[in-house]
Amino acid sequence: MKVLLAGATGAIGRPLTRMLVAEGHEVLALARSEASAQRVRGLGAEPVHADALDREGLLRAVEGRTADAVVHQLTALKAPKRTLTADDPSNVLRAAGTEHLLEAAGVLGATRFVAQSLVTGYGYRDHGDRMLTERDPFGVLRGTVSDHVVDGLTAVEGRVFAARHVAGTALRYGVFHGPGTWFDPDPSSGTVPVPVGGGGVMSWVHVEDAAAATVAALEHGGAGEAYNIVDDAPATWGEAAGLARGGRRSPRLPGWLLRRAVPYLGDLMLDTALRVSHAKATAQLGWTPRRPGPGAGRAR
């Protein structure tokens, strides 16, 4: 396929671009600057000079081009923020960015569209010990700052599933670990605080596995379908912080201090227990996680 990829230089975008090229797909990668264009060329992609938030510029950039599919991997979440608002940059990309990319798909003649979603859309609360599946309610709000994230994710999925000109698929990734994430094994990268005692249980996925799932969804994903993309062993935030190497340690904060310092992390790391199953993705996409996560080596 010929694929327009938005987010090619991100944590998932880099391995995803390499995998697509290695499997014989042609990648057109959005690039907002010449520096970004150079990076995507280094990954084997052809840069398309455009910003997904600039509707007119994006449509001009793709005019006269063709593609079979569009992949939306844009996010602006580089580091934890103290608070979140409805106009948070990631939410803007999930709303306006998705709309613009869907329009670009129409100009390109693309018939497939794969978008990034997250398992946190199931809701920031204690879901208990049961493994959640795609049949469980998605978009559950709790009246806190984390509702902005949930609203953004439901907006992405709603727009993609409602589009009539493409077969839209949403991938509900677990929390990412690996290069370019909050839990980067590179000792020179930054750290994020985690709760004393480890915090709540979350579902995780390595960025390489997330990229492989995205390729599988492009090739086998169903129209109007969402897939959970997680590893086999949910784990605490403290266990994820243990993935860091080189002697680097994430700061451990008491729960009350973490909640006061970064309310969003309180909702995420203290109040949420989220165990999610990837059985549907394995059955329908032929995908299974291959890289060990923070809970590897113990039963879920």
CA distance 135 to 94: 23
Confidence at residue 265, expressed as pLDDT on a 0 to 100 scale: 86
What are phi and psi for residue 287, nearest 5 degrees? -110, 140
Residue 211's CATH number: 3.40.50.720
Lowest-pLDDT range, 15-19, 170-174, 205-209, 260-264?
260-264
- The answer to the question of residue 41 being in a domain is yes
pLDDT bracket for residue 82 (50, 70, 90): low
Enter the pTM of the model.
Answer: 0.94
- The answer to the question of residue 70 being in a domain is yes
- Which neighbouring-strand residues pair with 4? 28, 70
- The answer to the question of residue 165 being in a domain is yes
pLDDT bracket for residue 264 (50, 70, 90): confident
Lowest-pLDDT range, 83-92, 100-109, 191-200?
83-92
pLDDT higher for 24 or 245? 24
pLDDT higher for 90 or 208? 208
Confidence at residue 299, expressed as pLDDT on a 0 to 100 scale: 47
Structural domain count, the chain? 1
Task: Say yes or no to pLDDT of 99 above 90.
Answer: yes
3-state SS class at 231? coil
Confidence at residue 232, expressed as pLDDT on a 0 to 100 scale: 94
Lowest-pLDDT range, 81-90, 110-119, 120-129?
81-90
Task: Say yes or no to pLDDT of 117 above 70.
Answer: yes
Report long-range pairs for 22-31 (Cβ below 8 Å, ≥24 apart).
23/215, 25/1, 25/218, 26/1, 26/2, 27/2, 27/3, 28/2, 28/3, 28/4, 28/65, 28/67, 29/4, 29/5, 30/4, 30/5, 30/6, 30/58
pLDDT higher for 181 or 81? 181
- The answer to the question of residue 187 being in a domain is no
Confidence at residue 191, expressed as pLDDT on a 0 to 100 scale: 73
Confidence at residue 145, expressed as pLDDT on a 0 to 100 scale: 82
Question: Alpha helices of 75-204 — where are they, by DSSP H?
Answer: 89-92, 98-108, 147-162
Confidence at residue 93, expressed as pLDDT on a 0 to 100 scale: 83
Task: Say yes or no to pLDDT of 300 above 50.
Answer: no
> What average pLDDT does the segment 220-235 reach?
97
pLDDT bracket for residue 245 (50, 70, 90): low
- The answer to the question of residue 146 being in a domain is yes
The answer to whether the beta carbons of residues 6 and 51 sit under 8 Å apart is no
Confidence at residue 185, expressed as pLDDT on a 0 to 100 scale: 80
Place of tokens 């398309």: 48
CA angle (73 as vertex; 176, 140 as ends), nearest 5 = 65
Q: How far is CA 23 from CA 1, 18, 20, 181, in A?
A: 10, 9, 5, 25
CA distance 121 to 203: 12
Task: Say yes or no to pLDDT of 77 above 90.
Answer: no
Confidence at residue 144, expressed as pLDDT on a 0 to 100 scale: 87
pLDDT higher for 143 or 215? 215
- The answer to the question of residue 295 being in a domain is no
Task: Say yes or no to pLDDT of 121 above 70.
Answer: yes
Residue 19 structural domain? 2-180+204-232+277-285
Confidence at residue 292, expressed as pLDDT on a 0 to 100 scale: 87
151-167 residue pLDDT tens: 999 999 999 999 999 99
Specify the length of the chain in residues. Answer: 300
- The answer to the question of residue 162 being in a domain is yes
Task: Say yes or no to pLDDT of 78 above 70.
Answer: no
Confidence at residue 135, expressed as pLDDT on a 0 to 100 scale: 98
Confidence at residue 187, expressed as pLDDT on a 0 to 100 scale: 66
Beta strand 26-31 pairing with 2-6: parallel
Average pLDDT, the chain: 91
pLDDT higher for 280 or 148? 280
Q: How far is CA 125 from CA 156, 235, 274, in A?
A: 21, 16, 8
Sign of torsion, CA 189 179 21 48? negative
CA angle (287 as vertex; 285, 289 as ends), nearest 5 = 155
> What average pLDDT does the segment 2-11 reach?
95
- The answer to the question of residue 85 being in a domain is yes
